[in-house]
């Protein structure tokens, strides 16, 4: 089977492409080096390749940047999705669309796929419109789309501005004596990258629908820091800068029963195991 991955050079994209190739799929990739996905027909060069499935990962992701440059987020995230859907409409390929956390402050826990959607920033709003466009194409153009909503992804190779990778670096840097975190209290649901890729591969068989992906549990930033120090056999002072983010959500975790029931997916990697693997990968990279 031939598969196309947009956003192939991103954190998730690199892991996905590696797994697809090791599993025996023929993989085609598209990233910013190949062109602007938001332009009409950007994927037309692949129409004659016989591609059966597309993983659409490309897009802009910084919430903070979306407030300063909202038009760019709508252009890339919405038009890029539209370009990909048009490719699937023309080619007959199925599509897996990676979305994001769109639930806002939870009305109830755990959060299932029927929870009301709330877009509090341009990034989230652009992803919400992109999701709606996927559903419209599925209902009106018979483009088979599977929408995956992962909660907090982590794992080897993640950029340093994400909490877990940032803490791993601070704990394991000898010259860093204090671990400073903006707020130690918020709790999040974390999903290890390999478990996310497992769900991606399960979506290839043509499942349609929307699925939450997480662990079904939440951990505080304080617990994350403590676990990383314990696994690293390093103890450092930990302080909160006392600057919680605006509209901070104190706790959230996913109801993943639909993914288990319909995709046959459950996470295999505990948080402790995932953190250990992430620390090992970081130390190997720095050695």
* Mean pLDDT of the residues in the chain: 95
Please give the C-alpha separations between residue 181 and each of 62, 131, 184, 231, 277, in angstroms, as whole numbers: 19, 33, 6, 19, 22
What is the three-class DSSP state of 180?
strand
How do residues 37-88 score in pLDDT, each as one tens digit?
999 999 999 999 999 999 999 999 998 899 999 999 999 999 999 999 999 9
What is the CATH number that goes with domain 2-155+191-216+253-267? 3.40.50.720
CB-CB contact of 199 with 263 (8 Å): yes
Rounded to two decimals, what is the model's pTM?
A: 0.96
Catalytic residues: 123
- Angle, CA 80 vertex, CA 69 and CA 195 arms, to 5°: 100
- Domain boundaries, given as residue ranges, for the chain: 2-155+191-216+253-267
Q: What is the length of the chain?
A: 287
How high is the pLDDT of residue 282? 97
- Angle, CA 179 vertex, CA 176 and CA 184 arms, to 5°: 170
CA distance 27 to 5: 7
The 8-class DSSP code of residue 254 comes to B
How do residues 248-281 score in pLDDT, each as one tens digit?
789 999 999 999 999 999 999 999 999 999 999 9
What is the three-class DSSP state of 28?
strand
CA distance 181 to 55: 34
Beta bridge partners of 220: 187
Assess whether pLDDT exceeds 90 at residue 144.
yes
CB-CB contact of 193 with 153 (8 Å): yes
Beta bridge partners of 181: 240
How do residues 194-228 score in pLDDT, each as one tens digit?
999 999 999 998 789 999 999 999 999 999 999 99
Q: State which H helix or E strand residue 153 sits in.
A: strand 152-154
How high is the pLDDT of residue 192? 98
CB-CB contact of 147 with 181 (8 Å): no
**Burial zone of 179 (CB within 10 Å; 0-12 exposed, 13-18 middle, 19+ buried):** buried
């Amino acid at each position: 089977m031939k598969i196309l991955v947009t956003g192939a050079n991103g954190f998730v994209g690199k892991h996905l492409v590696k797994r697809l190739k090791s599993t025996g799929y023929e993989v085609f990739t598209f990233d910013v080096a190949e062109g602007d996905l938001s332009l009409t027909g950007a994927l037309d060069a692949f129409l004659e390749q016989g591609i059966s499935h597309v993983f659409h990962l490309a897009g802009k992701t910084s919430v903070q940047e979306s407030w300063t440059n909202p038009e760019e987020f709508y252009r890339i995230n919405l038009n890029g999705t539209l370009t990909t859907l048009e490719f699937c409409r023309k080619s007959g390929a199925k599509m897996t669309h990676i979305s994001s956390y769109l639930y806002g402050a939870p009305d109830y826990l755990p959060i299932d796929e029927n929870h009301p959607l709330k877009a509090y920033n341009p990034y989230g709003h652009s992803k919400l419109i992109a999701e709606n466009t996927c559903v419209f194409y599925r209902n009106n153009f018979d483009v088979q789309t599977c929408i995956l909503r992962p909660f907090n992804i982590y794992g080897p190779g993640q950029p340093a501005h994400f909490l877990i990778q940032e803490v791993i670096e601070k704990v394991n840097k000898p010259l860093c004596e204090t671990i400073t975190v903006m707020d130690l209290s918020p709790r999040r649901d974390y999903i290890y990258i390999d478990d996310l890729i497992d769900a991606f591969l399960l979506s290839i068989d043509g499942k349609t629908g929307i699925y939450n992906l997480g662990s079904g549990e939440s951990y505080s930033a304080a617990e994350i820091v403590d676990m990383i120090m314990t696994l690293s056999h390093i103890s450092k002072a930990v302080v909160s800068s006392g600057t919680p983010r605006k509209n901070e959500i104190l706790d959230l975790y996913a109801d993943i029963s639909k993914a288990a029931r319909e995709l046959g997916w459950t996470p295999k990697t505990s948080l402790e195991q995932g953190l250990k693997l992430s620390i090992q990968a970081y130390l190997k990279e720095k050695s």
